[in-house]
Structure 1
């Protein structure tokens, strides 16, 4: 199966350990199989007068002193049985230790690979991805694989050996009893295979339902403030209850399938054991079978029935593992984003040129059409337009979060798509509209890109972003721990911290993707003045709906339906009829009121 081929990629270096785990369970099964033979020999040959047919058992009896010696000292047989059980336990311990260690290491490798792949998947993938399902695949699905590797996989080898070995032994004990002993085994095995096919489908559905439940929970916890603000607790509870009910229904179906399997397989198993006891007793009474052989057959039939009966559980866990491998492979098979592909790593000055650029998310549905403009080093370019006009899509082309389909984008005269993504992103600071802060200290959040950044640079960046005074008003100042996603800060404070985190790198190109919207007009002006006074002035691109924010830009682009419909300075644009003037008039009249 291709799923197991995928799994083998993570087991390199631990195959030998798995081999010894399998060898350990085989040896433990040997000791397990010997016990009924010792009991049979004791009853039939040491206590009774039957000859010993096995040369190995005869050697053991001779080593222990012979039949007559043991007949008077049966406690020695008891010690042999205890030692046999102890040795079996020792090898079972080795099997569990080796298999568990290997499984845990493989699970760690899978988690590492998943996390690495998730970090390197393209921006577009994460925009569409379901966070709850990603978490499910990295936790629950990996754990399902780990349990299968630690328990069931090694047990399969032990079961196959036990079945083969026991069938060989009982064939030499009594031919007639062999047929009686295996009559129901094909039914048990066939039922296990049919059950496996059915339960695998049901498990896949239950796993998908659990992922949806995890997503609902994750969304609710992330957006709990919105839920509280709009008094939507009842709605969210009902939504969660629907997901929970669906998951419970599918889980109950799985449990019902398992209950049906165990009850039917128990019926076949107990019928098989009962048949051996009844017919074996009849043959013993007739003198065709010794008592010791009957006891050995009853012991062996239990040993035979158990692994076949367990086959259902093994196949169930294997089905779960195969589904989990398939779900995990949905992440691992995604094409990762190569940040370094031996492209150019030029010194970035900040000169930008767009020429007849087209971009589309879906084929034949362009989002940007024939975009052309130029920004020289140190210029400020402002982009304004209605929601959905393509403003963010335009600026996301610069750090190569998306690739343009047609046209040319040049940075300092070099085609953008020939520059390594890692290098261009290192030289472009992007302040997103929705700031994300980690549950760390303020200082750690600001110098996230370089934890060794000196404190003086942290303070300077905070001053430029006009957040320094706010930070000093906190009891712990820069060592204040912000809550998850910066929940303990206001929207404006989070925006300004995000700005400080970006400008601390002194990138030659800085993009503000509507990231000044949460600060007041006065703070907005102060931030832009501080940016303009920096020693190393960057080429700045600002997306905003606020005319006061874009009015001082060297070039203003008015975008509508993916096209630049107006361009110029603030003074030039308010003298022309068009979208910019209409927005200016609306905002001016609002400010006057």
Structure 2
């Protein structure tokens, strides 16, 4: 019941259309069950002499001209049967159209809500989640719900109504024959129910295996250049083959269960039909059952056997739809990130203060410990240290991608966690080491955050990022399509594009998270000079492993194991025993070797 309530919530705005679809299937089922009644009345009462017991049927016969008139003009009965068939077809068309329209609109609404919700989930969720599984939930699972709404649900409602109506008619015709006709129905229904409970887990396992296979495929396509570079095609093929084999085995197991069900249900159903024909023939021969009633019973048993057999398939699809609904609901159950919780949007100049800041991803496993430092507006601070020392974690706290656990961070004297996330992210530009570019042209990528920016500003940002000359050398200039993830650009060009995209917004705080690693030393110097000479110079935080990149910073912090172990200017640190001087000595030695080679 809970699942149906969820579906009804999603169907808001389209429930009336769906209701009319349901009414249409009910009318079509009534017309379907009317055909055997017309044949029975024709055989027993129009051609034969049996008295019509139903006042409703008697009125219809009188309306058509009476028994004697119809007996002489049986073609009218033929027209009546054709009219019933045409009417049934019209209502079936309405059922399919209305149910499908409602289902399509509902699933569009689900997709829109899913996409919107995913966009609002916190950064931490996306770091931990698998892209392939998210894609699976947003595509295959939504399509499963669509099929359930457009086909299975209306069919099961129509079938249940027809089953009840036919059983009522059968019992009014002949109780003994009706009892004989439904002997196998409870067994078939029980078999369907047991099958449904068993196959539900098999469907869930198959869906999860498909998600794992999709994740493997997505990772391979995304990292295809790495695969080619390291000649890992065979490894990737074997890895995909393993996931594909798992999916195939689980799906095949599911298909075997379905085959067993359909085979056994066929046996039960045909046995029931055969039994009705044998017993009905005998009763008709003995005079206990009229010929018209016998024809009606044979017709009706074929009508009700199919819905009961289909109950297993419908229950299975219902189970699959509910599994999909559960998987989708797992996304909706994730709390979204509130970006404007306080509506506090102060004017940010760029003064930064860290005081005894602690941060951890997992409980009792601190990544940053007791960090304290100050940066004045317009200054440049550099972070250097071993991989995994916590540098990126530190800068991810400033745009509030993560929240610190203890201590405080203040921007211009204001506690960071009191400032709206959306506002702080507009004022803190973050350039990552591995920039993501969209499959658009260069101009659209640079002015991504503000598509209305004029071309002059785009060119200025490109010049500052030392990418303008490269862009001019392209055949289409700023109209050049960079391809998926910027595949047509070099690593350095992608980094400089990302820098241009960030600084175009004139953020008062700019963070370079090792985002100059793929550019040569000369370009590195050019970018830093251009940034330093800009008007309204931003507070700049640079993470780098290259001493030449951080040497001109106003302050350098050396971080190791989440703690600041050294701080000072370049000249201070090279004259001090410690990690910075060791890195400086090693890099200078390597540079000398390259020059003398």
TM-score normalised by structure 2 residue count = 0.99
Aligned to 1:446: 446
Taking the aligned partners of 1:231 and 1:573, their CA distance within structure 2 comes to 43
Q: What is the distance in 1 between the residues matched to 2:38 and 2:7? A: 42
Other-structure match for 1:210: 210
Q: Is 1:86 aligned with 2:86?
A: yes
Give the secondary-structure state (helix, strand or coil) at the position aligned to 1:505: coil
Higher deviation after alignment, 12-21 or 71-80: 12-21
Deviation string for 1:370-425 (max 9, x for gaps)? Answer: 00000001000000000000000000000000000000100000000000000000
- Identify the residue that residue 459 of structure 2 maps to in structure 1: 459
CA distance in 2, matches of 1:31, 1:471: 70
Q: Which residue of 1 aligns with 2:275?
A: 275
2:169 corresponds to:
169
Q: What's 2:582 paired with?
A: 582
Which shifted more, 418-427 or 97-106?
A: 97-106
Question: What is the distance in 2 between the residues matched to 1:2 and 1:579?
Answer: 60
Aligned to 2:123: 123
Q: Equivalents in 1 of 2:238, 2:363: separation in Å? A: 38
Q: Does 1:503 align with 2:503?
A: yes
Deviation, 1:2, is 2.7
- Equivalent position of 1:37 in the other structure: 37
1:308 aligns with 2:308: yes
4+ residue segments displaced more than 6 Å: none
Q: Which residue of 1 aligns with 2:148?
A: 148
In structure 1, the residue corresponding to 2:208 is in which secondary structure?
Answer: helix
Match in the other structure for 2:194: 194
SS of the residue aligned with 2:102? helix
Partner of 2:76: 76
Task: Show the 5 A alignment for 1:372-387.
Answer: 372-387=372-387
Distance 2:90 2:213 in 1: 43
Moved more, 451-460 or 266-275: 266-275
Counterparts of 1:300 and 1:410 in 2: how far apart (Å)?
79
Structure 2 alignment gaps of length 5 or more = none
Superposition deviation, residue 4 in structure 1: 2.6
> Can you list the C-alpha shifts for 1:176-212, whole angstroms capped at 9, x where unaligned?
1011011000000000000000110000000000000
Aligned to 1:391: 391
Deviation (angstroms), 1:44: 1.0
Please report how far the alpha carbon of residue 160 of structure 1 lies from its aligned counterpart in structure 2 after TM superposition. 1.7
| Displacement of 1:7 | 2.1
Partner of 1:557: 557
Corresponding position of 2:222: 222
**TM alignment of 1:53-68, pairs within 5 A:** 53-68=53-68
Instruction: Supply the distance in 1 between the matched residues of 2:158 and 2:5 (Cα, whole angstroms).
Output: 22
SS at match of 2:27: helix
Shift of residue 62, structure 1, vs aligned partner: 1.2
Inter-partner Cα distance in structure 2 for 1:96 and 1:34: 21
Deviation at 1:17, TM superposition (A): 1.8
- What SS is found at the alignment partner of 1:317? helix
Q: Normalization by structure 1: what TM-score?
A: 0.99
Specify the SS of the correspondent of 2:540: strand
The answer for the alignment partner of 2:111 in structure 1 is: 111
Name stretches of at least 5 consecutive residues in structure 1 with no aligned partner. Answer: none
- Alignment of 1:425 onto 2:428: no
Q: Which moved more, 1:171-180 or 1:413-422?
A: 171-180
Taking the TM superposition and a 5 Å limit, the aligned residue runs for 1:314-393 are 314-393=314-393
1:65 deviates by 1.2
| Counterpart in the other structure of 2:402 | 402
User: What are the Cα deviations for residues 403-462 of structure 1, in whole angstroms up to 9, with x where unaligned?
Assistant: 000001000000000000000000010000101100000000000001111000000000
Alignment deviations for residues 348-382 of structure 1 (CA, whole Å, 9 cap, x no partner) = 00000000000000001100000000000100000
Moved more, 226-235 or 5-14: 5-14
Q: Distance in 1 between matches of 2:129 and 2:165?
A: 51
Q: Specify the alignment match of 2:522 in structure 1.
A: 522
CA distance in 2, matches of 1:156, 1:122: 40
Separation of aligned partners in 1, 2:409 and 2:589: 38
- Which residue in 1 is equivalent to 2:513? 513
Secondary structure of the structure 2 residue equivalent to 1:9: helix
Structure 1 Cα separation of the partners of residues 508 and 487 of structure 2: 31
Spell out, residue by residue over 1:244-301, the C-alpha distance to the aligned partner (whole angstroms, 9 max, x if none). 1111111111111111111111111111111111000000011111111000001111
State the distance in 2 between where 1:201 and 1:448 align: 44
SS of structure 2 residue aligned to 1:294:
helix
Partner of 1:491 in structure 2? 491
Residues 7-38 of structure 1, C-alpha deviations (whole Å, 9 max, x = no match): 22211122222221111111111111110000
Distance 2:84 2:70 in 1: 17
Deviates more, 1:414-423 or 1:97-106: 97-106
| CA–CA separation in structure 1 for the residues paired with 2:107 and 2:261 | 29
Question: What is residue 414 of structure 2 aligned with on the other side?
Answer: 414
Contact 2:342 2:418 in 1 (8 A): no
Look up the SS of the partner of 1:359 in the other structure: strand
1:520-562 deviation per Cα after TM superposition (whole angstroms, max 9, x unaligned): 0110000000000001100000000000000000010000000
Secondary structure (helix, strand or coil) at the match of 1:370 reads strand
Q: Distance in 2 between matches of 1:118 and 1:417?
A: 23
Q: How far 1:222 sits from its partner (Å)?
A: 0.5
- CA deviation after TM superposition for structure 1 residue 163, in Å: 1.4
Q: CA deviation at 1:5?
A: 2.6
Question: 1:343 Cα shift?
Answer: 3.5
- More divergent stretch after superposition (134-143 vs 49-58): 49-58
The number of equivalent residue pairs is 593
Q: After the TM superposition, which of the residue ranges 401-410 and 60-69 deviates more from structure 2?
A: 60-69
Distance between the aligned counterparts of 1:6 and 1:123, measured in 2? 27
Rounded to whole Å, the distance in 2 between the matches of 1:212 and 1:510 is 38
The one-character-per-residue Cα deviations of 1:546-591 (angstroms, maximum 9, x if unpaired) are: 0000000001000000000000000111110000011001111111
